[in-house]
Amino acid sequence: MEGQVEVAKKQFQRHKLFSRELPTLMYGFGDSSPSRPDSVDVLEDILIDYINSTCLQAAKVAGRRTKVTVDDFKFVLRKDPKKLARVEELIAMNKEIETARTLF
């Protein structure tokens, strides 16, 4: 039994991908200045779960294709107008940056 628990812990080991950025983001939304580490960990878990589920949904939309495209993510986010608008805005900004780079 103990061996199974150790294997499960190794599979779900956290990498603290967003531990530096989240406290600043939390402070910007009204949290106290030194954010509690457990609050950051919970928010990071929620964020990683959301990213994973969105990517899996986009992969299901892609189907047999080997690559997931931006259109697949747009399809997944189609029911959330705020997120879809933000995706469109980021795509437009990326195109502007690319054209500005080619000019210089």
pLDDT in tens, 36-80: 999 999 999 999 999 999 999 999 999 998 899 999 999 999 999
CB neighbours (10 Å) of residue 1? 4
Q: What is the pLDDT of residue 2?
A: 52
Residue tagged 């939309």 (tokens): 61
pLDDT of residue 19: 87
pLDDT of residue 17: 87
Q: Which of 49, 44, 53 is nearest to 26 (CA)?
A: 44
Fill in the amino acid letter for 42.
V
pLDDT at residue 12 tops 60: no
Sequence length of the chain is: 104
Is 93's pLDDT higher than 60?
yes
pTM for this model (two decimals) = 0.75
Largest CA distance in the chain: 63
